[in-house]
Amino acid sequence: MNIFGIESTAHTFGVGIVNSKGKIFANERDTLKTEGRGFLPREIAEHNFAVAPNIFESALNKANMAMKNIDLISFSQGPGFGQCLSCGAVFGRALSLKYGIPLIGINHCVAHIEIGKLVTGLKDPLTIFTSGANTQIIAHKNGRYRVFGETLDMGLGNAVDHLGRYLGYGFPAGPIMDNMYPQGKYIDLPYTVKGMDLAFSGVLTAARNKIGKESKEDISHSFIHNAYSMLLEVTERALAYTQKEELLVVGGVAASKTLREMAGIMAKDRGIKVAYPEMQYCGDNGAMIAWQGYLQYVKGKDRQSIEETVVKPYQRLDSVDISYI
């Protein structure tokens, strides 16, 4: 069985093709980038609609397949920017109706976890899911993924990119600031953890106020150090509570070398296993959408009519029933 997945929640339009055994045949994408600024949702949607035909053809060519070889189409139904989600949904519905292939919408956040489990081999981890829009500490319990801690204001990736824009780096700023981390020294910034939750707006504002007074290297180093330390403090508490022996780090920020190093130190101290997907599966991608479609449609027996494939921009991960575990 071959599954065709469409990712279109934000600045990346991606198409992945996988089979029911987890073999990934294609994982093509195009990501909108800017210099010195962010972007508007309509700009992202226009980008996604514009690149969709080429990414579609590229994925089929990479997999050496045609649509007649596809047995299921899945797409990101939520959460995400409404305009961007609509691009993937419209594309998926059009392909489904044209070729008579079943269609299923899936939760983007759950897909990040499941592709991580697939490519790392972890079975029942506590998961750090940290991306532009999301920062959550998650574990599966009683038929759903449960959130044990999360950001109270903004996603960690969004906070990093905000600061990067103020520093003049454009989008995405995360890789630039991550590479600068060893070059800076620590300056005092706020550290905001509230029980099992955390907040980034205070440390972001304080870092902004340091611009022009401290070096870019020191500001980047200190912001990343505090933000990642806050995240790992909450994670360690969740590990103590859940007694999990595996830690999975997924989402776009999981590509950070600094976060991987800091998480590795914490995991070693606790005597647990930590794993991260390879870089192509950290950020948004179509392969994870395809694999999640297989899990829900085949193993979970989930079904949707075309009318039920409306996009859900505010859908939470912990609102989704997990019928395949």
End-to-end CA distance of the chain: 20
For 212-244, give the DSSP string. TTB-HHHHHHHHHHHHHHHHHHHHHHHHHHH--
CA–CA dist 174, 161 (Å, integer): 6
CA–CA dist 224, 231 (Å, integer): 11
CA–CA distances in Å: residue 68 to residues 21, 198, 213 = 19, 48, 61
Query: Quick one: pLDDT at residue 3?
Result: 98
CA–CA dist 309, 106 (Å, integer): 9
Do 277 and 119 meet the contact criterion of CB atoms below 8 Å apart? yes
CA–CA dist 46, 66 (Å, integer): 26
Domain ranges of the chain: 2-112+281-319, 123-279
Query: Quick one: pLDDT at residue 172?
Result: 84
CA–CA dist 202, 54 (Å, integer): 41
Tokens of 86: 């609509």
Helix (H, G, I), strand (E, B) or coil at 86: helix
325 residues of the chain, pLDDT tens digit each: 999 999 999 999 999 999 999 999 999 999 998 776 777 888 999 999 999 999 999 999 999 999 999 999 999 999 999 999 999 999 999 999 999 999 999 999 999 999 999 999 999 999 999 998 899 999 999 999 999 999 999 999 999 999 999 999 878 889 999 999 999 999 999 999 999 999 999 999 999 999 999 999 999 999 999 999 999 999 999 999 999 999 999 999 999 999 999 999 999 999 999 999 999 999 999 999 999 999 999 999 999 999 999 999 999 999 999 999 9
Query: Quick one: pLDDT at residue 40?
Result: 84
CATH of domain 123-279: 3.30.420.40
Q: What is the 3-state secondary structure (H, E, C) of 15-34?
A: EEEEECCCCEEEEEEEECCE
CA–CA dist 243, 253 (Å, integer): 24
Q: What is the 3-state secondary structure (H, E, C) of 196-207?
A: CEECCHHHHHHH
Query: Quick one: pLDDT at residue 171?
Result: 80
* DSSP 8-class letter at 304: -
89 backbone dihedrals φ, ψ, rounded to 5° = -65, -45
CATH of 2-112+281-319, one of 1.10.3720.10, 3.30.1180.20, 3.30.420.40, 3.40.50.300: 3.30.420.40
CA–CA dist 164, 172 (Å, integer): 8
Domains 2-112+281-319 and 123-279 in one fold: yes
**H-assigned helices in 3-107:** 41-63, 82-99
Query: Quick one: pLDDT at residue 35?
Result: 74
CA–CA dist 172, 268 (Å, integer): 30
Look up residue 161 and give its amino acid: D
CA–CA dist 195, 188 (Å, integer): 22
Q: Pick the closest to residue 139 from 275, 285, 243 (CA basis).
A: 243
CA–CA distances in Å: residue 192 to residues 124, 229, 251, 292, 310 = 29, 10, 22, 34, 37
Residue in the block written with tokens 């210099």: 35
